[in-house]
Amino acid sequence: MHISEGFLPWTHAVGWTVASAPCLLYSLRCALVEMSAGPESRLRLAAAAGFLFTLSALKLPSFAGSCSHATGVALGAILIGPSVMPALAFVVLLFQALILAHGGVTSLGANLFSLGVVGPLIAWWVAGSRTPSRMRAFLAGFVGSLCVYAATSAELALAFPDATGSFSAAFVRFAGLFAITQVPISVVEGIVTAVVVTTVNSYTQSANGLTPAREVAG
């Protein structure tokens, strides 16, 4: 998903930066509100950031001018909502670009749009709540991960259309190349997301003196 430094034409790099900027500014405001809401909110924020950084840093080579890895977008979207995810994704992507040479500064806007905007929104919609069943949490992790790569495929297809100028053909080509590694990775991410969400919800209810609900247990 991390498009490499200098891979996108400069016009596309600037365009995706402009598109991502309003989302990032709004998200930073939401993150500040979340941090001031209390220790429990800050703990959820830290857990989402750590999960996002860890999973998105475990990269595998891909054939589409990028790399494949789990994304970690679903857990954050479920625990704190999609509005905070662009801010977390920006910090994670900037650190990875500068320290790990993973992604790039010129492609930061495009990577932020796919990882911080598209993926979390879809995962949040699929999950439906902060206490989804195991199946909905799994689907959120699975679908959210795939949608990050669908967005990246669209970005690459816009930058490098088919020889005939067709966006659709280029999108199918990039998405098909990503799918070789990303589909099994997304299955694993769905399972991990379901386990973590179920554990967090059970712990939260136990801490509040409640018996875990049958829905949370799946």
Neighbouring residues of 86: CB distance < 8 A, sequence distance ≥ 6: 20, 23, 24, 26, 27, 112, 116, 117, 120
CA 211, distance to chain mean position in Å, is 31
Residue 150 to residue 145: CA distance in whole angstroms: 9
- Range 10-207 has CATH code 1.10.1760.20: yes
What's residue 11's pLDDT? 96
Distance between CA atoms of residues 105 and 94, nearest Å: 7
What pLDDT is stored for residue 208 in this prediction?
A: 59
Residue spans of the domains in the chain: they are: 10-207
pLDDT of 43-101, one tens digit each? 888 888 888 888 887 776 655 555 678 899 999 999 899 999 999 999 999 998 898 87
> Would you state the structure tokens that stand for residue 138, as one six-digit string?
């799994």
H-only helix segments in 113-166: 119-127, 134-159
**Which segments in the chain show pLDDT lower than 50?**
211-218
Q: What is the pLDDT of residue 83?
A: 94
pLDDT for the residue 23: 96
Return the amino acid letter for 167.
F
Other beta carbons within 10 angstroms of residue 11's beta carbon come to 9
User: Considering the entire predicted model, what is its pTM?
Assistant: 0.86
